């Protein structure tokens, strides 16, 4: 297999199903060698009982198509698991070029019913599950750069529309996905000197995590194009993970169907400066006037 990722070594977390699987197959089709990570858990993060693993099945698909891949079943939200993920790439292929952070699960509740354990579990797997692989991969790339072998490295993080706008019933998930955007911006700034570009995507696709939300779009499309197929998101991820994306870093993209959008985050809007301290009444009056000139926020999903 040859393509825009020919010779690159790519790690994809949560790659046993859905978006992660689509990304892994797409990278392999473009010539990449893969480390396919998946813990093999159910939708809420509890262990599965199937004898085979999702990661193993994806590896078999890649190999059957003539590609190279190995499975990794470690918990990347732990230091040991994240470190072994990076070492698997280095021990198997001798290098690491791209990290795609994708792993996650859901435990949806309205805020008044959201248990602390459900909050901690979702933030743990999404946010810490991004930070730890990023941290261990970045340490390797920094060492390479300091040794005079500056890499052409790429990190693609996975946020969500829920992280950009919020989503009713998903306070834990929305918070973690918003934090991933902050992590992306910091990592892009800190790691640029070592040859590492860091971007994030906010995908919309039909997966185990979204099948209820997209139930109305589950029917087979009449025109042959399935707008909610996870495979539609992967081309952008592959490009961001390739050397062809040179110069693109610290960006957030929405991807859905045939649409790609560059998201523009917090920027200064209407401003008033009194030059001294406001009274509460003055501050309120001024805030209301500024709001009349500000762009309205996007609607929270499910509101």
Decide: 82 and 135 in contact? Cβ < 8 Å.
yes
Catalytic residue numbers, as ranges: 160, 173, 177
In terms of DSSP bridges, do strands 252-256 and 153-158 run parallel, antiparallel, or are they unpaired?
Answer: unpaired
Ranking 64-73, 84-93, 208-217 by mean pLDDT, the lowest is 208-217
Q: What is the CATH number of domain 9-263?
A: 3.40.50.720
Cα dihedral sign for 131, 133, 134, 137?
A: positive
Give per-residue pLDDT as tens, 72-121.
999 999 999 999 999 999 999 999 999 999 999 889 899 999 999 999 99
What single-letter DSSP state applies at residue 46?
Answer: P
Cβ count within 10 A of residue 71: 21
Q: Write out pLDDT tens, residues 234-285.
A: 999 999 999 999 999 999 999 999 999 999 988 899 999 999 999 999 999 9
What is the C-alpha separation between 162 and 160, in angstroms, rounded? Answer: 5
* Helix%, strand%, coil% for the chain, nearest 5: 45, 15, 40
Mean pLDDT of the residues in the chain: 91
pTM of the model: 0.90
Sorted by where each begins, the domain ranges of the chain are 9-263
What confidence tier does 208 reach under pLDDT thresholds 50, 70, 90?
low
Per-residue pLDDT averaged across 8-20, rounded? 96
Q: What is the DSSP string of 59-127?
A: HHHHHHTT-EEEEE-S-TTSHHHHHHHHHHHHHHHS---EEE--------B-GGG--HHHHHHHHIIII
pLDDT of 49 over the 90 cut: no
Q: Residues near 194 by Cβ (< 8 Å), separated by ≥ 6? A: 138, 141, 142, 144, 145, 150, 151, 153
Which stretch of 12-21, 43-52, 85-94, 216-225 has the lowest confidence by average pLDDT?
Answer: 43-52
Phi, psi (deg, nearest 5) at residue 235: -55, -40
Residues 31 and 2: their CA atoms lie apart, in Å, by 4
């Amino acid at each position: 297999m040859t393509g825009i990722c020919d010779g690159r070594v790519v790690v994809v977390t949560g790659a046993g199903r859905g978006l992660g699987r689509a990304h892994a197959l797409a990278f392999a089709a473009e010539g990449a060698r893969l480390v396919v990570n998946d813990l093999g858990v159910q939708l809420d993060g509890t262990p599965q009982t199937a004898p085979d693993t999702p990661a193993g099945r994806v590896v078999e698909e890649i190999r059957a198509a003539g590609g190279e891949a190995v499975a990794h079943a470690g918990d990347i939200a732990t230091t040991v698991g994240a470190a072994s993920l990076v070492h698997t790439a280095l021990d198997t292929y001798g290098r690491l070029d791209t990290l795609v952070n994708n792993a996650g699960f859901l435990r949806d509740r309205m805020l008044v019913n959201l248990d602390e354990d459900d909050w901690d579990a979702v933030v743990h797997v999404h946010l810490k599950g991004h930070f730890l692989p990023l941290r261990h991969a970045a340490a390797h790339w920094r060492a390479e750069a300091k040794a005079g072998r500056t890499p052409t490295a790429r990190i693609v993080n996975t946020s969500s529309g829920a992280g950009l706008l919020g989503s009713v019933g998903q306070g834990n998930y929305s918070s973690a996905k918003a934090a991933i955007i902050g992590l992306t911006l910091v990592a892009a700034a800190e790691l640029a000197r070592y040859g590492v570009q860091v971007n994030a995507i906010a995908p919309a696709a039909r997966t185990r995590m979204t099948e209820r939300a997209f139930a109305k779009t589950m029917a087979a499309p009449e025109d042959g194009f399935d707008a909610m197929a996870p495979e539609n998101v992967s081309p952008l991820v592959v490009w961001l993970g390739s050397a062809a994306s040179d110069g693109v870093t610290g960006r957030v993209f929405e991807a859905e169907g045939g649409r790609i959008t560059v998201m523009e985050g917090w920027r200064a809007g209407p401003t008033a400066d009194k030059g001294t301290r406001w009274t509460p009444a003055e501050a309120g009056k001024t805030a209301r006037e500024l709001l009349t000139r500000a762009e309205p926020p996007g609607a929270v999903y499910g509101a």
